[in-house]
Amino acid sequence: MISPADYVLLATILFVIGGVGVLIRRNALVVFMCIELMLNAVNLAFIAFARLHGGIDGQVIAFFVMVVAAAEVVVGLAILTAIFRTRRSASVDDVNLLKY
Amino acid sequence: MSHAIAVAAGSASATTEVVTFWVLAIIAVAAAIGMIVTRRAVHCAVLLAVVMLVLAAMYAMQGAPFLAFVQVIVYTGAVLMLFLFVMMIVGVSAADSLIETIRGQRLWASLAGIGLLVLLVLIVGHAAIGPAAPSGPRNGALNVNSLAALIFTTYVFPFEVTSALLITAALGAMVLAHRERTSPKPTQRALSRRRLADGHPTPLPGPGSFALNNAVDTPALLPDGTQSRLSVSGVLANRALAAGDRPGERYPGGLKLERGADEEAGQEPRQEPGQELSPGEER
């Protein structure tokens, strides 16, 4: 029998991999994908906890997380195309006009 | 007797869940690591799709069939397709460079990740996470009904706020993706004038058709034996360079894609319609 703790551990590992990806990748698209990976990992933890408690409130929360993630992706990718149109680059290093 | 059968069936399904969990977990972690290691953004998207499908299977295993389907439809179907569409706009050749702009960034990021992993694993290990509660009808046939009942009673206010969020996101995406036309749209007369002024009023040469090679990425040969660069789309040449293989090695007779005589006449390689500069920019 797989305990919910195992699912939570898997979610932890996926979350950390996504976080490392956000730190080391410089293509903005890939950074977005790593953020999606982190959100998915948190969803897995929510569902595991819902199963631990025998309720489905955690599933409702995971559903809301999915909705928010979809909205975030839409706006983020629109920003990305807007930046690409002016800077001709998708690298996060090239977007430094607000740096100083 | 029936009790023994039920216990045996329960242990069999438990064994199935154990095996499925470990197989899926290994696949998910391997795909996630490959996602942050591979250079090309398209490969990242495909590996992320693998992770998301694995997570959908895990949702189904944990008594969340509705979320499993939503995961496949919304994430793998909509979000990843959106990523791939944006990748088409940004360019498939948008691979990460391997040069570090901050010295030691990867090392320190990996160390921070390992530290965070150890911390979180210790926290999860010390927490008293007991066995799962027995799954009832709310985790099976009545899953959608129970979720709907919860969403429209307890969580009705967050649900309404979600609708406002979605409308705002759609509006924001439209505003951000909108582009004002800063110069008038070129008419047919202006286009024909530009075509004549460019010095190449005729259509561009087609790709080479040879006995061994007949493809759009095969450059045609000019009368003096050099290759006509105009006969190959510039996108293909860029893609071949991005993929790391040298164009010309695949052509018979050791032909190299070099500057042809027609290019030295001051003409640019062929441009695809999608690659044209926006009207607001100067050439």
- Say how many domains are in chain A: 1
For residue B10, what pLDDT is reported?
Answer: 52
**Residue A40 contacts B, CB cutoff 8 Å:** yes
B224 pLDDT above the threshold of 50: yes
Contacts of B141 in chain A (CB under 8 A): none
Average pLDDT score over residue span B24-40: 92
More confident residue, B268 or B148: B148
Average pLDDT score over residue span B232-252: 59
For residue B104, what pLDDT is reported?
Answer: 83
**pLDDT band at residue B199 using 50, 70 and 90 as cut-offs:** confident
Which tokens belong to B96?
A: 């990460």
* Percentage with pLDDT > 70 across chain B: 76
Distance (Å, whole) CA A72 – CA A39: 11
The answer to whether position B42 is within a domain reads: yes
Contacts of A94 in chain B (CB under 8 A): none
In terms of residue numbers, what domain contains A15? 4-91
Which one of B75, B96, B117 terminates a domain? B96
**pLDDT band at residue B97 using 50, 70 and 90 as cut-offs:** low
Contacts of A8 in chain B (CB under 8 A): 124, 129
Which one of B96, B125, B145 terminates a domain? B96
The answer to whether position A39 is within a domain reads: yes
Instruction: Let me know: does B264 contact B231? Beta carbons within 8 Å.
Output: no
The answer to whether position B63 is within a domain reads: yes
For residue B241, what pLDDT is reported?
Answer: 59
Average pLDDT score over residue span B144-162: 92
Residue of B nearest to A19 (CA): B113
What is chain B's mean pLDDT, rounded?
78
In terms of residue numbers, what domain contains B243? 205-272
The string of pLDDT tens digits covering residues B53-94 is 999 999 998 889 999 999 999 999 999 999 999 888 887 655
Residue B89 neighbours by CB under 8 Å, 6+ apart: A81, A84
Listed residue (B200, B222, B218, B199) closest to B208, CA to CA: B218
For residue B189, what pLDDT is reported?
Answer: 92
**Residue A26 contacts B, CB cutoff 8 Å:** yes
Of the candidates B74, B96, B154, the beta carbon closest to that of A66 is on: B74
For residue B259, what pLDDT is reported?
Answer: 46
CATH number at residue A52: 1.10.287.3510
**pLDDT band at residue B98 using 50, 70 and 90 as cut-offs:** low
**Placement of tokens 């438990």 in the chain:** B14
Contacts of B72 in chain A (CB under 8 A): none
B136 pLDDT above the threshold of 70: yes
Residue A29 neighbours by CB under 8 Å, 6+ apart: A80, A90, B41, B44, B83, B86, B87, B90, B94
Mean pLDDT lowest for which of B21-25, B69-73, B182-186? B182-186
Q: Flag if B83 and A40 touch (Cβ within 8 Å).
A: no
Residue B122, burial from CB neighbour count under 10 angstroms (0-12, 13-18, 19+): exposed
B262 pLDDT above the threshold of 70: no
What is the ipTM score, two decimals?
A: 0.92
The answer to whether position B75 is within a domain reads: yes
Contacts of B177 in chain A (CB under 8 A): 78, 81-82
- CA B53-B143-A61 angle, to 5 degrees, is 70
Q: To 10 degrees, the CA torsion angle through B171, B174, B175, B176? A: 120
Residue segments in chain A with a per-residue pLDDT below the cut of 70? 1, 99-100
The string of pLDDT tens digits covering residues B117-130 is 999 999 988 887 87
B167 pLDDT above the threshold of 90: yes
**pLDDT band at residue B239 using 50, 70 and 90 as cut-offs:** low
B1 pLDDT above the threshold of 50: no
**Residue A60 contacts B, CB cutoff 8 Å:** yes
- Say how many domains are in chain B: 2
For residue B141, what pLDDT is reported?
Answer: 77
The answer to whether position B186 is within a domain reads: no
**Residue A68 contacts B, CB cutoff 8 Å:** yes
Which one of B61, B96, B131 terminates a domain? B96
